[in-house]
Structure 1
């Protein structure tokens, strides 16, 4: 407990944990103040995601590379997963699909671009391990192609109505994606792990991790709190979005993905500023591939259990285009293993174009 309190005292971001009890009380006192609850829920989820990230790193550090990699796959995007599961239960499938597409684009374009920009402003040219970047971008490209398949065949004239074929296709693709992710873990953590060693730049001093008991206890408590706050977030998001002039697609694509990845942003940005670009690129592309290969198929499988009906992987055309552009851009940018600040600036501009387009021109039926 003392370790946790010390971490909260020395980390300003964690001071906003005060919003967690505030939003829970506000929901009980004023359940119809949707805009207020939405804002408070966003402010509460960010520090919870940061705390979850600290605890996950501590548990992974105690369990070794193989188990640690699996834990990071399972828990690294737990905030987004809990929000999406809550939306699944509420039947808000547009919000779920938008959060999947948005998380892929945000991690692959915005997070990566911001890391390259922040690191490049401090160092003239930065280098990183191309093998790790190629693996993550290759996995992401394969997963994006798989996610686009249901959307590509959805409008075929001979496709039977009712969605049964799309559900079967999405279910099969989900199983293949999870299998591909497992093989990727095996490749990078066991059979060819020597290829993914850091380039050795920057400050490599090891951070002292929490005791395992504190980390596991924090994981359990924070997971429950994230679930409670996510429930409030999903219940208030529709009305709040109308107040702010945002569509559910924009909220899922931009707001949920930025809020859910806040903790990863902090770690990746700090690594880039210390010239540890291997770590920053790995976090950005690794998180994007986790969403595409693990979180998205897991949500399809969970929809058969917790959703009002099975969810398919048919995205609206704009999301399909943005995911493919983001994947190809990140693969092209990271192919050289070298970077400067202007490359990151260009990637952030691409993300800004996506956000502006989605805000001004929402998907059909949401305008």
Structure 2
């Protein structure tokens, strides 16, 4: 337990663990205090996500490059996946879809833009491995096209529209997951030398013993699942009290909260002139959400949801994902960055956030 206690003392983010018992206590004492439960759940998920991230990295550090990279890729967005599963089980499909879109846009614009800006404030010009950026950008573009197709054909078959959409979404989900698997094979096995510039040193220096890492992974996963249930149960009433739609909450709250730990690592690496790591985390996480998390949610909705979920997003969501993917790919294609590129990415993220707050989707398809 000593490494875990040392990590808690060293990281101010983990001091927020006090909110974990606070949210459970509030749920027990005042279950109708939806706004308080919502805010406490958000505050509790942040340190749990940080612990989950560190435990995942410690397990990956003990398993070698290929398996370790696969573990990081598979579990890197576990927090977002757990929150989405809780919302899926509750039938909050608009929240699920908004969190998917928000995670893709947040990682490709906010996290990448913040890394460019923070790194550029200390170093006039930074360089990073273009191969990784191009791979993730290409995968994201493929996933975006797959998201455009259901929205484009939604009204073509009025008679069998719902059935056709669900079958199409299931087929696209399987295709995206297969493409994601091939992308992992390409980057971790057949062409891993192209991505050798990425440095994982900072993540493996403080690796925990494997027993502690696995135990923490199991316990924290359970805690995240329990807190997510409280979060989803309070989100609708809390959103009404605070004037926020489920789409806005999924986009602006769920995505940054679930990725808080990854953001902290990416921003810290950029400030140390290790932009390879920052770009890999930001774009890698975005492509993973699009090609793995979203398809998994579609497939699991057949088992745990009130009804199967499709990949038909409201038109504004498709536009945001497409624009974020193209802009991130364009600005990262040169392998160099400066602080102004970060400002541009953050500005586009702010445009999307303001638009979604002022004009939430009125009746998005479920």
For residue 169 of structure 2, give the secondary structure of its aligned residue in structure 1.
helix
Does residue 310 of the first structure (1) align with residue 282 of the second (2)?
no
Aligned to 2:162: 163
Give TM-score scaled by structure 2 length: 0.97
Does residue 326 of the first structure (1) align with residue 324 of the second (2)?
yes
Aligned to 1:2: 2
The answer to whether the 8 Å contact 1:203/1:274 transfers is no
Task: Return closer, same or farther for 1:295/1:204 CA change in 2, 3 Å cut-off.
Answer: closer
Task: Return closer, same or farther for 1:170/1:128 CA change in 2, 3 Å cut-off.
Answer: same
Aligned to 1:65: 65
Write out per-residue CA displacement over residues 323-344 of structure 1, whole angstroms, 9 at most, x where no aligned residue: 0000000100011001100110
Write out per-residue CA displacement over residues 37-66 of structure 1, whole angstroms, 9 at most, x where no aligned residue: 000000000000000000000001111122
Matches within 5 A, 1:251-290: 251-290=249-288
Does residue 215 of the first structure (1) align with residue 213 of the second (2)?
yes
Task: Return closer, same or farther for 1:203/1:229 CA change in 2, 3 Å cut-off.
Answer: closer
Shift of the alpha carbon at 1:162? 5.3
Equivalent-residue separation in structure 1 for 2:196 and 2:75 (angstroms)? 23
Shift of the alpha carbon at 1:203? 8.5
The answer to whether the 8 Å contact 2:19/2:40 transfers is yes
Shift of the alpha carbon at 1:236? 0.3
Task: Return closer, same or farther for 1:210/1:203 CA change in 2, 3 Å cut-off.
Answer: closer
Equivalent-residue separation in structure 2 for 1:206 and 1:344 (angstroms)? 28
Aligned to 2:139: 139
Aligned to 1:76: 76
Aligned to 1:25: 25
Matches within 5 A, 1:114-263: 114-156=114-156, 158-161=157-160, 163-198=162-197, 207-263=205-261
Instruction: Give every structure 1 segment of 4 or more consecutive aligned residues whose post-TM-superposition deviation is greater than 4 Å.
Output: 202-206
Equivalent-residue separation in structure 2 for 1:269 and 1:228 (angstroms)? 29
The answer to whether the 8 Å contact 2:58/2:204 transfers is no
For residue 365 of structure 1, give the secondary structure of its aligned residue in structure 2.
coil
Shift of the alpha carbon at 1:69? 2.2
Equivalent-residue separation in structure 2 for 1:75 and 1:151 (angstroms)? 29
Write out per-residue CA displacement over residues 100-156 of structure 1, whole angstroms, 9 at most, x where no aligned residue: 011000001110000000000000100001001100111111111112211111022
Shift of the alpha carbon at 1:204? 6.7
Structure 1 gap segments, 5+ residues each: none
Task: Return closer, same or farther for 1:33/1:197 CA change in 2, 3 Å cut-off.
Answer: same
Give the count of matched residue pairs.
364
Aligned to 2:36: 36
Backbone CA RMSD of aligned residues:
1.4
Give TM-score scaled by structure 1 length: 0.97
Structure 2 gap segments, 5+ residues each: none
Equivalent-residue separation in structure 2 for 1:204 and 1:228 (angstroms)? 31
Equivalent-residue separation in structure 2 for 1:131 and 1:78 (angstroms)? 26
The answer to whether the 8 Å contact 2:57/2:204 transfers is no
For residue 205 of structure 2, give the secondary structure of its aligned residue in structure 1.
coil
